[in-house]
Amino acid sequence: MGAARPSLSVVRVDAADSLLAGILATIRTVYGRASDPIRRDIEAGRAEVHAVFEGDRRAGFLVLSDYRDPLFHIGNRIDPRLARAVLEDPRRAIWVIAYLHGEPGTAHELSELGEAMLRSAGGADPKETVFLVSLPRGGDPRSWRLFRALGFREEGAPAWLAEIDLAPAAQRASGHSDLEIVWLDAPARLPAEELALAYDEVFAEGHPLLSADDVHTIASGPEWSGALSLAVRERESGTLVGFLFTGRREGESIHIDCAGIRRPWRARGVLEVGFEAFRRKAIEIGFRRSTFVTGIRGVERLAARRFGARILDELVWLVRRAGGGA
């Protein structure tokens, strides 16, 4: 008979815990992502980190983002039905899996480590706990097998990851002298309250989702790219009519976290003016491609028609509800 496997134990890691430094270092080196926001989000109650041990050796970790947090939705797709469920049922706890990591050489499978951490994260709280993860349809089959083994099932509407080649000749954006671009590259040029109101109007049907403080938090994050984020104003009235936020940079690609046009101005060339300003400056800086995510087919088709966008992959929500996995 083989040696008995060490027992598993799970601890919740807070911002001051010495364990967190090692977890953040793994996120930087293995996943190549900025880890500073995680510490900030733990302190603000917007994220949780759980570590699982085999005996006294760390075997893996789980990082969760609060789906209720409005900042989560900047640069992440929103499923309208799931979002409404969050807003309408304050009893429900909904966590999005940001990272589920197993260390090399563990005695347990990653599915076993994940099950232990998810059960611990669910806790004994009487609130219904729901876990979500977003996976690309064409992604690693091992990730799909893992989350299905953990009791996750496909639910909600899909979204699409798309890419735009920034190199082709400029779209004509003439005849719109009534519009002006404001670059959001300095705190003094950040109309935070106006941006929050415009975001809520475009993405939350006027529901108060973002605050001015939230906008400042977004713009102070390590993945914010103020040099390529902008607002569009109506020159005569000074009204903010559209916006575009950019974030993650990977080589020659820049990700558009979100872009919106307020309804009364949607047929007045705001899209063309804003995107062309972004496109020109992005090329000057050295970017050749931009990516974005949308859950609205009409947006994807509009971007394909006007800017040559092409779909890279379909993104799918997998959901695990209260009660655990298999």
| Secondary structure, 3-state, the chain | CCCCCCCEEEEEECCCCCHHHHHHHHHHHHHCCCCHHHHHHHHCCCEEEEEEEECCEEEEEEEEEECCCHHHHCCCCCCHHHHHHHHHCCCCEEEEEEEEEECCCCCCCHHHHHHHHHHHHHCCCCCCEEEEEEEECCCCHHHHHHHHHCCCEECCCCEEEEEEECCCCCCCCCCCCCEEEEECCCHHHCCHHHHHHHHHHHHCCCCCCCCHHHHHHHHCCCCCCHHHCEEEEECCCCCEEEEEEEEEEECCEEEEEEEEECHHHCCCCHHHHHHHHHHHHHHHHCCCEEEEEECCHHHHHHHHHHHCCEEEEEEEEEEECCCCCC
With respect to residue 129, please indicate whether it lies within any of the assigned structural domains: yes
How confident is the model over 41-51, as a mean pLDDT? 91
181 and 69 within one domain = no
What count of Cα atoms within 13 Å lies in the side-chain half-sphere of residue 258?
Answer: 23
Q: Is residue 303 part of a domain?
A: no
My answer on whether 192 and 143 are in the same domain is no
Same domain, 105 and 171: no
62 and 190 belong to one structural domain: no
Least confident of 72-81, 134-143, 257-266, 298-307: 72-81
Residue 114 lies in a domain: yes
Q: Which stretch of 134-138, 154-158, 159-163, 205-209 has the lowest confidence by average pLDDT?
A: 205-209
80 or 112: which carries more pLDDT confidence? 112
Specify if 31 maps to a domain.
Answer: yes
Choose among 49, 56, 63, 52: nearest CA to 9. 52
Asked if 203 and 84 sit in the same domain, the reply is no
Rg of the chain taking only CA atoms, in angstroms: 21
* pTM of the predicted protein model: 0.82
Shared-domain flag, residues 44 and 139: yes
Residue 120 and residue 258 share a domain: no
Q: From CA 8, how far away is CA 309, in angstroms rounded?
A: 47
| 122 is a domain residue | yes
Looking at the fold, whether 133 and 236 belong to one and the same domain comes out as no
187 in any annotated domain: yes
Which residue range is the domain that position 263 belongs to? 167-287
pLDDT at 212 over 60: yes
On whether residue 299 sits in a domain, the answer given is no
| Residue 298 placed within a domain | no
Mean pLDDT, residues 117-143: 85
Asked if the model's pLDDT at residue 224 lies above 70, the reply is yes
Q: Assess whether 63 and 118 both reside in one domain.
A: yes
Give residue 326's pLDDT band: very low, low, confident or very high (50, 70, 90): very low
Residue 1 has pLDDT above 80, yes or no: no
Q: Are residues 118 and 153 in the same domain?
A: yes
What's the pLDDT at 218?
Answer: 86
Report whether pLDDT(76) > 60: no
- Give pLDDT, residue 63: 96
User: Phi, psi at residue 194, to the nearest 5°?
Assistant: -65, -40
Q: Are residues 85 and 179 in the same domain?
A: no
Same domain, 152 and 175: no
Classify residue 138 as exposed, middle or buried by CB count within 10 Å of its CB (0-12, 13-18, 19+). exposed
Q: Please, which residues bridge with residue 246 across strands?
A: 256
Q: How many domains would you assign to the chain?
A: 2
205: CATH: 3.40.630.30
129: pLDDT strictly greater than 90:
no
